[in-house]
Structure 1
Amino acid sequence: MNRTDDVDARSIAVIGMACRLPGADGPDELWDLLRDGVDATSETPPERYDVDSLHSERPGPGMIGSRRAGYLAGMADFDAEFFGMSATEAVELDPQQRLLLMTAWDALEDAGRRPEELAGTRTGVFVGNARADYLELRFREGLQSVTASQLNNFRSLLPARLSYFLDLRGPSVLIDTACSSSLVAVHSAVQSLRVRESPLALVAGVNLALRPDEGVMMTQAGALAADGRSKFADAAADGHTPGDAVGVVVLKRLADALTDGDRIRAVIEGSAVGNDGRTSASVLNPSKTGQVEVLRWAYEDAGVSPADVDFVEAHGAGSPVLDALEITALGEVLGEDRPSDRPLLVGSVKTNIGHAEAAGGIAGLIKTVLCLEHGQVPQSLHLDTATPQVDWDQLPVLVPEKLHDLPDHGRLCRAGVSGQGSSSLNAHVVVRQADPRPAVATKKTAGRPYLLPLSARTPEALAALCRAYTAYLGADGPGTAFPLRDICYSAAVRRQHHEHRLAVVASSHEEMAAALGGAGESQGRKRTPRKLAEAVELYRKGGTVDWKATSGEPGRFVPLPGYPWQTKRYWPDGEREERTGDLADWVLREHARTTYDDDSTLVDVGIDSLAKLRIIVELSQQTGHEVDPEELGGLRTVGALREWIRATEARTA
């Protein structure tokens, strides 16, 4: 197949990514897990549901056939203060939304995109999701527990919450095609970028299983692995194991990314989606015809010969029927004209972390980008005997049982990522390695001082960030791989600047690490040039620094330590602060989003109409009497609210 003339112009760069997966709190940790062949699934924790009362090795109605799945650690942990939320708001908000907010921020930092620069732009948000378990759990508590706050947890609010917080004005779309949702979200974002509807896109997949219903249903359907392990392509495959996942990738037109000096992690050359139609026995039955068509459409869109693809991250859930059908379809399309000595490597991240359902595709894409960056494909776990339902001798396909190097054939390596939904909606994305970053001729800068600015939302977070940078710049830290100039440039120009700040000046990695080790007390040099000293003082006072004038020659964007989240557990299980002392002070602690004094307006501290509804309910519960909402609605300041609460409490005493 000849490449179309405009394929490079239509290509999309992956410039950032972040994830929270079982056993991996970020892409680097995910690669370690994959490289080491770790199975990150575990027994169901009691905070999800009582697995002891539901599990049976020979399950009947209402029972679940497996004790294991892939679970996120700290699922309820959130930095509410960073996002301007009160404790009450955080508890009431679906943890899927909370984790998406933090993971999206991580992805933007990885991409070197300052959120303040995206505000007001047509940046798009595309989220794949199929669950609203937190909302369903609240509804199950009974109609008396249903309040207006549940409006915040409808699934359409997943992308909307992110767009609202970052003030993004482009498409903000929830996509639900079951297990192909997040790959369909990638496809949708690619189309939006290509037609210039969006200059940048955040694409996410989110999945948190908080209740056992789907597990019971899948058990009855014979689709849940009894041992809680997804055994892709194995003769003993008996179904999948569910998994949590939150993943975000940042996409941008390749030409724009090159122009803007972004770090390109991989390139999406093409994609396709398609439904099986009536090519199978029923809407729930997989179809080889539908999969073959989507594969051909994707490589036609990419302008790439399927024979030139080196690796495919399969849907690979561990279904004895679906696995064999998928491998056969891959062999038919990608095996055509393929040299016999270069088999197609096919693997599945689901064997490591479980099947993340609507977020499974984004987890697979992140794994694929990591494989292309490292030039290796990890083993697929739990493969003891290859399934006899595949004619392996006739298909040039290999499921790796050890860490494989990608072939060196004088060109960039390519990969595909597949997703299939019970909606019969198939998706496939074509990805290639990024071109090596060209060397940049620079002036010798040994001994030249540079300014490193660091900031955070709280003093505690700033101290944690100092420690992270000290390790990053230390003798064994990853920062030693990058010039100090590029590190300081990236921190100055490619990171958001918060209210708590420090800045240090040094001329070497060691000197900078030593200065940070003193929490910025020392500037790292006995003699700091006047221009840098003035910039340090201005920055520490919260001023806006002209980084171009300060830094001189521009640097390159390089990876930096991420924001150190200061999380607390937010869950409706008694962790909420108990009322102590003055009722008015307790209400303000629970509902105010910012610091305040008596003259602060309620609007400025985040006590809006929804918060006032919560306050009415809580005061009624605390006092045992009805509260007049009109009286509360007429209050403007914190002091007025404080006096009104005390008066209300006195009247009902």
Structure 2
Amino acid sequence: MKSSTAEVQGRAVAVIGMACRLPGADDPDQLWEVLRDGLDATSETPADRYDVEALYSPTAGPGTIASRRAGYVRGMADFDAEFFGVSAAEAVELDPQQRLLLMATWEALEDAGQLPSALAGTRTGVYVGAARSDFLEEQYRRGLSAVNASAFHNYRSLLAARVSHAFDLRGPSVVLDTACSSSLTAVHSAVLSLRAGETRLAIAAGVNLLLRPDEGVLMTQAGTLAADGRVKFGDAAADGFTPSDGLGVVILKPLRQAIADGDRIRAVISGSAVGNDGQSSESVLTPSLAGQVDVLRWAYEDAGISPADVDFVEAHGSGSPTLDPLELTALGQVLGEGRPADRPVIVGSVKSNIGHAEAAGGLAGVIKTVLALEHGQVPPTLNVTTHNPKVAWDRLPLAMASGLHELPAVGRPAVAGVSGQGSSALNAHVVLRQGETLATRRAAAQTPGAEGADGEVYLLTLSARSIPALQSLVRSYVDYLSPGGRGAEYPLGDICFSAATRRQHHAFRLAVLGTSREELIAALSDPARPLEPELAALPLAAVAEQYRRGHDVRWESVFGPDHLYVQLPNYPWQTKRYWPGERVVETSERGGDLAVTVLREHARSASPDYSDGALLSEMGIDSLARVRILLRLAADHGYEVEAEELAQLRTVGDFRNWLHVLEAQAA
């Protein structure tokens, strides 16, 4: 190896947080259940995507699609617009890829224990792999007369910019499109940025939503779509891929910094590489064995790891009868050098569970691999009945993950690779090793059974941006702290420390005291109940009251130095469905006041003031919102007015009086 151990360790990057939206899984924990249990999360194409029955044909005729199935995420149109200061009108017109990416990024930062307020204004980087603009294309399809300025917000190049703007991140903000290797290329770019010191924290993501059938029709004509809608990687019956929705986000930080900051090290990226096939292939769209071999060698050289030490590979694994044999051959050639005959590389593909998430497929593979390293298990790859005869299985040290495999105990952290290949001829490979496993995490935690034995009192803080969200969060914490809940494996001191120091604090707050889980659950269930006199007299009760009143608290004076950051419940989104042509129904319309109805739809602030003296600018009624208001008034009421008239209005009262004039003129 060209790199010394110290140099490699110094370049290592920690994966400290993850989030996802994948078929059958709204978060990584649900994804692990899908993988562990060997579930097929693909499904029939729902009607809100397109009419698959009108297009389906078992023969590849013009304008037809060969499969009824694909992989679809739940709640594709759902979004918590108020949380992100987006008006209802903006949310309806905003690409759901952007909406889901915003929520998943927040979840990944929470998982990493990184406060968005602390990141604001910093040189944090955002790298997004994406190749689809289906929502924008659908806007254009409605006709040129339907196109308005809101379409600017849906250009694919703004996916990363939307995240950077929402979180006030000042570092690189880049969208990468290398087709199906896009999100792995995003990870590679983020790693390079962290190593160079350009950024101290990086967000790498991939996003892909199937909103139109065009590419399915194209793949049918090309013969690359699986007829039964199932990916059969490594199997003799492999006949193409099954497309799927997908969104994944990982939070990356230099390993040394993550250790110093007390972050949870979910896995470590030791190295990565990308490379184009160049003229080693016959054409741009023809895969190359040489190109894949090169990238594998470069990645392990970069990682300072012998390919013979790799325990598991999450393959690109698309189920293509052409690509699969090449990929497996390349893996066998590189990872087989110097490998003991009795220790083959376990190979798998998440695509057999969820379909091929295309530009986000690499991130889905990374998240699966991190979970496998944490659990010490490789989940099964589905749909393998007869091994592909075009692969020299007898000569290549490869084993398909046919069941739930335990990673071998070899006296070192397990090593895994993740591969991605794009129709852009760009190959990518990321090398990961184990960070904290579930076993080491539990061992680091104190035994929770002795909690409260010495009369120690715990302070638990919760907050949200609305009363309903806070109520939902309370229910989540009750489940979390109850017997059998995820929090049962963590000490109460670590839970309370994490909630106070590793969560963003919002306007609506709750703080409860107790000496045990049972007491905290009781306090959460009845927060209005007065404290017992002995608790009320404690200095900690004053801290709780200070927090409830919205004041800043010096948490370092409340918690000692010997606490660990542990996983907590995620923020409970208060979502609504936003989709073109569908009116978002509000629970209250203020007695039918048209001014309030219209302004509520376009206001960006979470709790706007609708009194006459309130400024339109303070509730986010900017020039684009004014255009939307004019379009709404024209469509719903037939009011034809000039933009200059609306631009001259400053307050809600001005707007209300202006509407009264329009109503009178129309009458």
> Which range, TM-score by smaller chain?
over 0.9
For the residue of structure 1 that corresponds to 2:322, the secondary structure is: helix
Structure 2 letter corresponding to 1:457: R
In structure 1, the partner of 2:564 is 556
1:541 aligns with 2:541: no
In structure 2, the partner of 1:598 is 612
Greater alpha carbon shift after TM alignment, 66-75 vs 582-591: 582-591
Greater alpha carbon shift after TM alignment, 66-75 vs 527-536: 527-536
1:459 aligns with 2:467: yes
In structure 2, the partner of 1:486 is 494
Whole-angstrom distance in 2 between the partners of 1:522 and 1:405 = 51
For the residue of structure 2 that corresponds to 1:645, the secondary structure is: helix
Whole-angstrom distance in 1 between the partners of 2:612 and 2:137 = 39
2:638 aligned to which of 602, 624, 632: 624
1:502 aligned to which of 500, 507, 510: 510
Structure 1 letter corresponding to 2:540: L
Greater alpha carbon shift after TM alignment, 105-114 vs 568-577: 568-577
Greater alpha carbon shift after TM alignment, 626-635 vs 57-66: 626-635
Greater alpha carbon shift after TM alignment, 324-333 vs 80-89: 80-89
The one-character-per-residue Cα deviations of 1:276-335 (angstroms, maximum 9, x if unpaired) are 001111100000000000000000000110000000000000001100100000000001
User: Contact 1:489–1:554 (CA<8 Å) still a contact in 2?
Assistant: no
Distance 1:536 1:220, change over 3 A: same
- Can you give the 5+ residue segments of structure 2 that lack an aligned partner in the other structure? none
In structure 1, the partner of 2:135 is 134
In structure 2, the partner of 1:10 is 11
1:277 aligns with 2:285: no
Deviation of the 1:519 alpha carbon: 4.0
Deviation of the 1:630 alpha carbon: 1.0
In structure 2, the partner of 1:54 is 55
User: Contact 1:2–1:304 (CA<8 Å) still a contact in 2?
Assistant: no
Structure 2 letter corresponding to 1:634: Q
Whole-angstrom distance in 1 between the partners of 2:614 and 2:368 = 48
Distance 1:325 1:638, change over 3 A: same
Distance 1:440 1:224, change over 3 A: closer
In structure 2, the partner of 1:245 is 246
Greater alpha carbon shift after TM alignment, 401-410 vs 540-549: 540-549
Whole-angstrom distance in 1 between the partners of 2:190 and 2:534 = 51
User: Contact 1:299–1:430 (CA<8 Å) still a contact in 2?
Assistant: yes
Structure 2 letter corresponding to 1:421: G
Output aligned runs, 1:10-29, within 5 Å: 10-29=11-30
Output aligned runs, 1:107-256, within 5 Å: 107-256=108-257
User: Contact 2:445–2:490 (CA<8 Å) still a contact in 1?
Assistant: no
1:586 aligns with 2:583: no
In structure 2, the partner of 1:317 is 318
Whole-angstrom distance in 2 between the partners of 1:535 and 1:423 = 57
In structure 1, the partner of 2:261 is 260
User: Contact 2:498–2:564 (CA<8 Å) still a contact in 1?
Assistant: yes
In structure 1, the partner of 2:654 is 640
Whole-angstrom distance in 2 between the partners of 1:561 and 1:75 = 22
Deviation of the 1:623 alpha carbon: 3.8
Structure 2 letter corresponding to 1:588: L
What is the root-mean-square deviation of aligned Cα atoms in Å? 1.7
Whole-angstrom distance in 1 between the partners of 2:572 and 2:532 = 23
Structure 2 letter corresponding to 1:576: V
Deviation of the 1:59 alpha carbon: 2.5
Whole-angstrom distance in 1 between the partners of 2:327 and 2:548 = 57
1:405 aligns with 2:416: no
In structure 2, the partner of 1:293 is 294
Output aligned runs, 1:66-105, within 5 Å: 66-105=67-106
Distance 1:370 1:525, change over 3 A: farther
User: Contact 1:203–1:251 (CA<8 Å) still a contact in 2?
Assistant: yes
In structure 1, the partner of 2:626 is 612
Whole-angstrom distance in 1 between the partners of 2:166 and 2:531 = 35
Structure 2 letter corresponding to 1:323: D
User: Contact 1:69–1:354 (CA<8 Å) still a contact in 2?
Assistant: yes
Whole-angstrom distance in 2 between the partners of 1:370 and 1:413 = 12
For the residue of structure 2 that corresponds to 1:130, the secondary structure is: coil
Structure 2 letter corresponding to 1:406: L
Distance 1:525 1:117, change over 3 A: farther
User: Contact 1:587–1:615 (CA<8 Å) still a contact in 2?
Assistant: yes
In structure 1, the partner of 2:478 is 470
Deviation of the 1:652 alpha carbon: 3.3
The one-character-per-residue Cα deviations of 1:180-235 (angstroms, maximum 9, x if unpaired) are 00000000000000001011001110000100000000000000000000000000
Distance 1:553 1:269, change over 3 A: closer
Whole-angstrom distance in 1 between the partners of 2:522 and 2:105 = 32
TM (norm. structure 2) is: 0.95
The one-character-per-residue Cα deviations of 1:415-442 (angstroms, maximum 9, x if unpaired) are 0000000000000000000154684899
TM (norm. structure 1) is: 0.97
Structure 2 letter corresponding to 1:252: K
Deviation of the 1:651 alpha carbon: 2.3
Structure 1 letter corresponding to 2:204: V
Distance 1:452 1:440, change over 3 A: closer
Deviation of the 1:575 alpha carbon: 3.6
For the residue of structure 1 that corresponds to 2:558, the secondary structure is: helix
In structure 2, the partner of 1:527 is 535
Whole-angstrom distance in 2 between the partners of 1:321 and 1:205 = 25
Whole-angstrom distance in 1 between the partners of 2:151 and 2:575 = 23
User: Contact 1:3–1:304 (CA<8 Å) still a contact in 2?
Assistant: no
Deviation of the 1:33 alpha carbon: 0.5
The one-character-per-residue Cα deviations of 1:147-184 (angstroms, maximum 9, x if unpaired) are 10111111111110110010000000000000000000
Whole-angstrom distance in 2 between the partners of 1:629 and 1:402 = 64
Structure 2 letter corresponding to 1:548: E
Instruction: Among all aligned residue pairs of Structure 1 and Structure 2, give the percentage whose two residues are the same amino acid.
Output: 63
For the residue of structure 2 that corresponds to 1:585, the secondary structure is: helix
Tell me the number of residue pairs that the alignment of Structure 1 and Structure 2 aligns.
Answer: 653
- Can you give the 5+ residue segments of structure 1 that lack an aligned partner in the other structure? none
Structure 2 letter corresponding to 1:420: Q
The one-character-per-residue Cα deviations of 1:232-266 (angstroms, maximum 9, x if unpaired) are 00000000000101110000000000000000000
Deviation of the 1:445 alpha carbon: 6.7
Q: Which 4+ runs in 1 deviate beyond 6 A?
A: 440-445
In structure 2, the partner of 1:368 is 369
Greater alpha carbon shift after TM alignment, 444-453 vs 486-495: 444-453
The one-character-per-residue Cα deviations of 1:574-602 (angstroms, maximum 9, x if unpaired) are 34349994432321121122321222211
For the residue of structure 2 that corresponds to 1:392, the secondary structure is: coil
1:385 aligns with 2:386: yes
Whole-angstrom distance in 2 between the partners of 1:117 and 1:523 = 33
User: Contact 2:452–2:516 (CA<8 Å) still a contact in 1?
Assistant: no
Structure 2 letter corresponding to 1:622: D
Whole-angstrom distance in 2 between the partners of 1:520 and 1:190 = 48
Whole-angstrom distance in 2 between the partners of 1:330 and 1:249 = 25
Deviation of the 1:521 alpha carbon: 3.4
Structure 1 letter corresponding to 2:457: P
